């Protein structure tokens, strides 16, 4: 990995070292390091011509496309930031993110151009929309209209150049400001454990709005590795690419692995080039893990992390997956990677707890975000003055330093790799005339790990129609956030101060399971 202090210098390093080597393969086309650097400098010139100044934001609403990485690297060069929008969000949520970022320039893929047209009058800060790809592509002409500009903004290590949104307990997403220091530390710390280098062939299957997409891509770029980018995480196509392109490194969420294990002929392919198959972002059901270990022996690594830490903070390596003497570790999140400290703290006092005792997972490293965009109070509540990030996840650490995640302090649901905060769903359901009171909980699901369930109390004189409530949610929320079922109860359990006891609501569904998030 280059020792450069920012991503503009990293790109220049690999351009000089291996100008004719292929940097990105996408959709049957290749771009060398020299071509990538050339396009990034054109994008930097174009962004400056649009009047963007350091601290400004652009946004991308698209399925995976190399242009998103080009724009992220161009933003790094000129001191701006790319806010990558979760395309799975519902239109009102998409508008919220674009407006929250104070987006000046919006890049949109063909699948979302129609939605943006309908939202256009709700996006007051957006000065221009540029279409990327498809028959109406404007991006290539936008690039071609400008000569490459090699001038680099003197980026400080703490400057944000990519902004990824994570759902919030207040019911709205928060923009995690990811910095040169944080992303470089993540790239350095993770690549060291995975033998990443210029000869590596990294498959990017996860969406770029997720750290599993963008952070993974930036790690590959830091290492001078070749990226094989997929537009969507199609399980059959991903398996075929592993074999055909001799992929050495990839990252999947458990839901993708669950489908892969069911694909006819999956076990007949040659995956011998694989050095590291990382999985994470949601709990891995043990039946899926056992099947995956047969399909990909000797290379599976469980990774645990979060957007606010630029990605991965702990790894359970292949040795722990293979050794039957430590089979109990298959439900752990492994050990802290180099450069990362993890402690278990009392969530009320912040004091460290004894080994084996449960508490909140705290993390300290150079990977930590610069804060939540425009939300200093939320930042102060998450990052302590001495640099510890409160993860919101509950767990414990054993005497050997292995981390076990048991539940979530912040009441988050992780479904198929997507973070879902019940507050977002509760806010929507509370507006329905049939509903007087509502709580949303996560319940077990074999495919997705867990899914949201709404528990509602009917409004006086009303009869709750579950299908109407689900349709109401589908109109206002991304499909993955919508409850999969509705229970109607006479009242919700509460403590003496009036707080809903969600633990009591969850208990019947999770009984008999050691890990309360699987």
Contacts of 80 (CB under 8 A, 6+ apart): 47, 52, 53, 54, 55, 56, 57, 58, 161
CA 228 to chain centre: 18
SS3 481: helix
Q: pLDDT per residue over 431-470, tens digit each?
A: 899 998 899 999 999 889 899 999 999 988 999 999 999 9
- In the prediction, which pLDDT does 169 show? 45
Q: How far apart are CA 9 and CA 450, in angstroms?
A: 42
Are residues 31 and 175 in contact, defined by beta-carbon separation less than 8 angstroms?
A: no
Q: pLDDT per residue over 237-248, tens digit each?
A: 999 999 999 999
Domains defined for the chain, CATH in brackets? 7-148+156-341 (3.40.50.12780), 413-510 (3.30.300.30)
Q: How far apart are CA 432 and CA 452, in angstroms?
A: 18
Tens digit of each residue's pLDDT, the chain (518 residues):
556 789 999 999 999 999 999 999 999 999 999 999 999 999 999 999 999 999 999 999 999 999 999 999 999 999 999 999 999 888 998 999 999 999 999 999 999 999 999 999 999 999 999 999 999 999 999 999 999 999 999 999 999 999 999 865 456 789 999 999 999 999 999 998 888 999 999 999 999 999 999 999 999 999 999 999 999 999 999 999 999 999 999 999 988 999 999 999 999 999 999 999 999 887 777 778 889 999 999 999 999 999 999 999 999 999 999 888 888 888 899 999 999 999 999 988 999 999 999 899 999 999 999 999 999 999 999 999 999 999 999 899 999 999 998 777 767 788 888 878 787 898 899 889 999 889 999 999 988 989 999 999 998 899 999 999 999 999 999 999 999 999 999 999 986 556 688 888 988 998 877 554 43
- In the prediction, which pLDDT does 1 show? 55
Radius of gyration of the chain (CA): 23
Are residues 162 and 183 in contact, defined by beta-carbon separation less than 8 angstroms?
A: yes
- In the prediction, which pLDDT does 518 show? 37
Q: How far apart are CA 280 and CA 211, in angstroms?
A: 11
- In the prediction, which pLDDT does 170 show? 52
pTM: 0.86
- In the prediction, which pLDDT does 7 show? 96
The residue behind tokens 């990226």 is 227
Tokens of 133: 């790809």
Phi-psi region of 391 (alpha: psi -120 to 50; beta: other; left: phi over 0): alpha
3-state secondary structure 388-442: CEEEEEEEEECCCCCEEEEEECCCCEEECCEEECHHHHHHHHCCCCCEEEEEEEE
Are residues 260 and 295 in contact, defined by beta-carbon separation less than 8 angstroms?
A: yes
Q: In 3D, which of 423, 513, 30 has the Cα closest to residue 227?
A: 30
- In the prediction, which pLDDT does 283 show? 72
């Amino acid at each position: 990995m280059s020792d450069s202090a920012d991503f503009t210098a990293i790109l220049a390093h690999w351009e000089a070292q291996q100008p004719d080597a292929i940097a990105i393969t996408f959709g049957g086309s290749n771009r060398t390091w020299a071509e990538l650097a050339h396009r990034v400098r054109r994008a930097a010139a174009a962004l400056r011509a649009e009047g963007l100044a350091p601290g400004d934001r652009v946004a991308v609403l698209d399925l995976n496309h190399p242009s998103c990485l080009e724009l992220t690297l161009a933003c790094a060069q000129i001191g701006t930031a790319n806010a990558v929008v979760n395309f799975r969000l519902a239109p009102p949520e998409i508008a919220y993110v674009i407006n929250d970022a104070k987006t000046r320039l919006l890049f949109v893929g063909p699948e979302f151009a129609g939605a943006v047209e309908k939202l256009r009058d709700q996006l007051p800060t957006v000065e221009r929309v540029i279409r990327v790809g498809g028959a109406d592509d404007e991006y290539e002409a936008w690039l071609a209209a400008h000569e490459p500009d090699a001038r680099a903004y003197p980026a400080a290590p703490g400057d944000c150049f990519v902004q990824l949104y994570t759902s919030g307990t207040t019911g709205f997403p928060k923009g995690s400001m990811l910095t040169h220091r944080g992303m470089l530390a993540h790239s350095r710390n993770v690549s060291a454990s995975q033998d990443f280098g210029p000869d590596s062939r990294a498959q990017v299957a996860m969406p770029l709005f997720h750290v599993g997409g963008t952070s993974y891509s930036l790690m590959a770029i830091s290492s001078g590795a070749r990226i094989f980018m997929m537009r969507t995480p199609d399980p059959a196509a991903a398996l075929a690419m592993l074999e055909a392109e001799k992929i050495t490194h990839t990252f999947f969420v458990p839901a993708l692995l669950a489908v892969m294990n069911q694909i006819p002929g999956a076990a007949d392919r040659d995956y011998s080039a694989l050095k590291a198959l990382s999985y994470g972002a949601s709990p891995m059901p043990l039946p899926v893990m056992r099947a995956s270990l047969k399909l990909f022996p000797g290379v599976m690594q469980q990774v645990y992390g979060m957007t606010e830490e630029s990605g991965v903070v702990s790894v359970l390596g292949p040795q722990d997956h293979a050794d039957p003497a430590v089979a109990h570790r298959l439900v752990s999140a492994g050990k802290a990677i180099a450069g990362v400290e993890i402690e278990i703290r009392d969530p009320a006092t912040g004091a460290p707890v004894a080994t084996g005792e449960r508490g909140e997972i705290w993390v300290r490293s150079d990977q930590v975000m610069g804060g939540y965009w425009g939300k200093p109070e939320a930042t102060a509540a998450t990052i302590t003055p001495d640099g510890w990030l409160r993860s919101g996840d509950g767990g414990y650490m054993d005497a050997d330093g292995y981390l076990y995640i048991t539940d979530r302090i912040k009441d988050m649901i992780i479904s198929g790799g997507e973070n879902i905060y019940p507050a977002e769903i509760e806010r929507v359901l509370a507006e329905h005339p049939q509903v007087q009171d509502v709580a949303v909980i996560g319940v077990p699901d074999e495919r997705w790990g867990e899914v949201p369930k709404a528990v509602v109390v009917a409004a006086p004189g009303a009869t709750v129609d579950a299908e109407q409530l689900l349709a109401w949610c589908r109109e206002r929320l991304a499909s993955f956030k919508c409850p999969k079922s509705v229970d109607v109860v006479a009242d919700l359990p509460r403590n003496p101060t009036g707080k809903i006891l969600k633990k009591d609501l969850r208990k019947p569904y999770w009984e008999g399971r050691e890990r309360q998030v699987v």
